[in-house]
Amino acid sequence: MTSPIVVRVRRVRTHPEPLPLPRYETALAAGMDLRADIEGELTLGPFERAAIPTGLAIALPPGFEAQLRPRSGLALRHGLTLLNSPGTVDADYRGEVQVVLVNLSSHPFTVKRGERIAQLVVAPVSRVSLVEWEVLDSTERGEGGFGSTGR
């Protein structure tokens, strides 16, 4: 097993009862749950969105990004998802990580302090060089997209 990648984290505000740091909930989980670091509650009406603070800033090592992803239970049971999913936190960003949560249901949803609202997945980033080319090699699929391969 390889050594874990170290990601430094800073709490951006103090609170008498700090929220737990994100952690993997199971041994093979890909993501860590992020919590809403809000005072009290925030209600999102149908089709409303808000940037929900997590209270954390992170320092990713070069060559990595953090992806913000929806939690499947919130999506299935309450119609909540991330508007820019997956959201990307770049390695050079040092501000507070916030989650753009949207309520796609027809019922209001109340977010409470400490509620798990998204997942954080740290992943390697590939850097590429773009080279302009007159003609690209052909493939069986060609230019077909947006459902061209069937259901």
**CA proximity to 51, closest of 65, 63, 34, 74:** 34
Q: Is 88 known as a binding-site position? A: yes
Report the C-alpha dihedral over residues 101, 10, 29, 34, rounded to 10 degrees.
Answer: -20
Instruction: Determine if residue 73 is labeled as part of a ligand binding site.
Output: yes
90 annotated binding-site participant: yes
86: buried, middle or exposed (CB in 10 Å: 19+, 13-18, 0-12)? Answer: middle
Scanning 30-134, the segments in alpha helix (DSSP H) are 72-78
CA angle 9, 15, 19 (to 5 degrees): 55
Kindly give the pairing relationship between strand 64-69 and strand 116-124: antiparallel
Residue 103 marked as a ligand binder: no
Is 26 among the annotated ligand-binding positions? no
Q: Summarize the annotated binding site for substrate as residue ranges.
A: 71-73, 84, 88-90
Q: Summarize the annotated binding site as residue ranges.
A: 71-73, 84, 88-90
